[in-house]
Structure 1
């Protein structure tokens, strides 16, 4: 059974692997091998992900029918920046390839938006990948402009998107 839970440090290693596997699993028609390798040439450390996610509001979806290391398997996560200068910025959204197309990204986003509305955020923003752009559009986001991120000397194109919450 899939459950939505708040981030816990014990999932940092799984989050690291999940992000890397998700990026590597993107179709070559969307991002070429060079772009995917620049984006994630290897899993980032659990320390990196824990530090990043513990400084933001983060939700996980776990599969409690699949137990690994005495805990449910993490199959997706999303996090929202809450600091003043980046408040309302969706930093990450990843779903394990084996769990995609099951509504997990929508479930994660819905929890995030509900929380942001309760906190009285004015708007949400995201640098959406080519993969996540359709999801964010379906949730009411509008493209503000294309965005470009340089990673390991490779420029990766995405979309800076906004959604007002007021």
Structure 2
């Protein structure tokens, strides 16, 4: 059953204490995809099981990430690469299936964009999936090129998009 909220109760910086919830949310969101372009084989290649909390803790030591909370439950997260080679690249944007289509992803993105503008990033970019492409287009991103990624023997089509800030 979907909850009837339009905004997360708050968006906070990622901290190690959220790593286990982020890991479970990522896996649940991937495995909850119901779309003909993502059969079970692809979903399993994308996320066969939740990653360790340590993975997420290390991932977000070098990148910036934000968590959408509903009370103390993690319902979404977004992350941005901040090191010089990929600065401004949106690495992850996931929302729990029970909270999708309620503006959570948009709120997370707007929070990220505001932060990136404060850091004077010239642009942000993302490899959007078929599912997230429309959201990023609505946020003003423009398609640069189609991309392909291999993961566990499966090919994933992506849409490399950019937005000037």
Same fold (TM over 0.5): yes
What residue is the counterpart of 1:22 in the other structure? 29
TM superposition score normalised by structure 2: 0.93
> Whole-Å Cα distance in 2 between the matches of residues 87 and 114 of structure 1?
15
Kindly report which structure 2 residues correspond to 1:23-62, keeping only aligned pairs within 5 A, or say none. 23-62=30-69
Listed one character per residue, the Cα deviations across residues 11-40 of structure 1 (whole Å, up to 9, x for unaligned) are 100100100110111113231111111011
What residue is the counterpart of 1:79 in the other structure? 79
What residue is the counterpart of 2:3 in the other structure? none
Structure number with the higher strand fraction is 1
User: Secondary structure of the equivalent of 1:127?
Assistant: strand
TM superposition score normalised by structure 1: 0.92
Listed one character per residue, the Cα deviations across residues 72-106 of structure 1 (whole Å, up to 9, x for unaligned) are 11000001111000100000000000011110000
> Whole-Å Cα distance in 2 between the matches of residues 76 and 127 of structure 1?
18
> Whole-Å Cα distance in 1 between the matches of residues 106 and 40 of structure 2?
27
Deviates more, 1:20-29 or 1:90-99: 20-29
> Whole-Å Cα distance in 1 between the matches of residues 150 and 93 of structure 2?
19
Aligned-pair distance for 1:57?
1.1
What residue is the counterpart of 2:5 in the other structure? none
User: Secondary structure of the equivalent of 2:34?
Assistant: coil
Q: Is the 8 A contact 1:30 1:131 kept in 2?
A: no
Structure 2: unaligned runs, 5 residues or longer? 1-7
> Whole-Å Cα distance in 2 between the matches of residues 99 and 25 of structure 1?
12
1:113 aligns with 2:116: no
User: Secondary structure of the equivalent of 2:140?
Assistant: coil
What residue is the counterpart of 1:100 in the other structure? 100
Runs of 4+ in structure 1 off by over 3 angstroms are: none
CA RMSD across the alignment: 1.0
Aligned length: 158
10, 20, 23: which one aligns with 1:13: 20
